[in-house]
Amino acid sequence: MSLFWCLSDCCNAGVKTALLDAHSDMGSTEILEKETSENLSNGTSSNVEAAKRLAKRLYQLDRFKRSDVAKHLGKNNEFSKLVAQEYLKFFDFTGMTLDQSLRYFFKAFSLVGETQERERVLIHFSNRYFYCNPDTIASQDGVHCLTCAMMLLNTDLHGHNIGKKMTCQEFIANLQGVNEGGDFSKDLLKALYNSIKNEKLEWAVDDEEKKKTSSEGTDEKANGTHPKSISRIGSTTNPFLDIPRDPNAAVYKSGFLARKIHADMDGKKTPRGKRGWKTFYAVLKGTVLYLQKDEYKPEKALSEEDLKNAVSVHHALASKATDYEKKPNVLKLKTADWRVLLFQAQSPEEMQGWINKINCVAAVFSAPPFPAAIGSQKKFSRPLLPATTTKLSQEEQLKSHESKLKQITTELAEHRSYPPDKKVKAKEIDEYKLKEHYLEFEKTRYETYVSILNEGGQKLLNNSESEAAGLKKSHSSPSLNPDSSPVTAKVKRNVSERKDHRPETPSIKQKVT
């Protein structure tokens, strides 16, 4: 089995560049001059010795902070790999369970940095755990699979996501067939699930950051304001799905919207008591749609409730809710984790304006997805969609979207050319339908993104006079009466709430990719 997530090939940065990068982060010219003269030879042994010295200093926090460690372990070059291997040698996981080892590992440093960097750190951890416990789990890939599964479970159980939390049975079901084509021990998975449920995963933070957060929280509590230290939406314990909140991000649209939660993560139907319409002041700031009870004020700190209601629009798709007939001017937003939310605007123009802006933000800023997990070929799982902002230029972003569109179109055609036999089990038919629905949705999403970037992308976002080409000027709604009566006198059944609107089976939960 391949690694749980496929990453880009290592870059060919030379040892000299790696060393210069490493030491420049120390901020010490004296150390840089001394050690580069010793270590920049062509011999491999010299590179290993340099990696050992840096690893030891990172472990002992010798002129390094905890937040400095991960960036030296997770860089995509050979020297960083050597440093990581030497650093992990300071940890002996022999006889420890996987969850105990991960908690022990996280006490040493802060798992910060880009998504890919954090992923590489976890790969090094998985390799070290397998070395210390070769008879516990079948392979290094199996260890890494479970490590990532625990990280995602941690967010599901302890994050701010809306809806039902993952059960132990769902956790076990999601990991079927990914242990070298077989299953992990149910007793092992139950133990890992209960460990994460009873105590969330957290990593160390710098002492200065602790004091700063504590001080800010005390001062602002005394002033009757909300702490400003919250910097991420969701859970700060997940390195892959947390949504960065940039206070300096541009505001692309704002106004009152009524919201109805139709489906939770993975399209699971929201419980009836939580589906009611609520009115918010919506602000599309960067890649996040903030939903606040009061009108937006830049100087006002966001409350915990504001962050819970916030929705990331990365890899999302907004469209007119043509299958919802109880209220007029309703748009449907499907998020990266397949939540479905309905929003009612005050006018058709306002609704279209929100659709255009949301899709434009998603098209311009969504980072390329990681491949899906590789395991049992019969079990379909969606790829991981990172919440980080893309590093590509607009031209590169367009090529990326076009490539994905071509890939999805081909995959959909191949998928349809091999329909399941009528005699197969119902579960396999459900898997086939789920994958087909996913491919259809992705095809529509990337078609929309490509169209937007071909029309200008970033220019459309910065154009305050027009929501999109061919549309009239649209202003934010000054108010929205949530009790307003629908335009249609005769209320028809909400077609969007029928079963075929959500093809996912009730047993399908977020794939622990």
Question: With 50 as the cut, is the pLDDT of residue 21 above it?
Answer: no
> How confident is the model at residue 320, as a pLDDT?
95
Nearest to 68 by CA among 36, 120, 111, 35: 111
pLDDT level of residue 421 (50, 70, 90 thresholds): confident
pLDDT tens, 376-412? Answer: 445 666 777 777 788 888 899 999 999 999 999 999 9
- The structural architecture, per CATH, of the domain 1-7+45-198 is Orthogonal Bundle (1.10)
Confidence class for position 200, pLDDT limits 50, 70, 90: confident
Q: What SS3 state is found at 331?
A: strand
Whether 128 shows a pLDDT value over 70: the answer reads yes
Q: Is 414 exposed, middle or buried (0-12, 13-18, 19+ CB in 10 A)?
A: exposed
What's the pLDDT band for 492 if we cut at 50, 70, 90?
A: very low
Residue 57, CA distances (Å) to 90, 206, 358 in order: 11, 16, 46
Length in residues, the chain: 513
* In the chain, % of residues over pLDDT 70: 68
The pLDDT of residue 335 is 92
Question: What is the phi/psi pair of residue 369, to 5°?
Answer: -75, 155
More confidently predicted of 434 and 164: 434
Residue 173 pLDDT exceeds 80: yes
Q: Which residues contact 359 (CB under 8 A, 6 or more apart)?
A: 316, 317, 318, 448, 449, 452
Going by pLDDT thresholds of 50, 70 and 90, the confidence category of residue 298 is low
Q: Does residue 240 carry a pLDDT above 90?
A: no
**20 is written with which tokens?**
């210069």
| Confidence bin at 351 (pLDDT 50/70/90) | very high
Beta-strand pair 232-233/288-292: unpaired
pLDDT at residue 237, rounded to an integer: 38
Query: How far apart are the C-alpha atoms of 131 and 153, rounded to whole Å?
Result: 25
CATH of domain 240-465: 2.30.29.30
Q: What pLDDT sits at residue 103?
A: 92
User: Domain ranges in the chain?
Assistant: 1-7+45-198, 240-465
Of the listed ranges 178-182, 189-193, 320-324, the one predicted with least confidence = 178-182
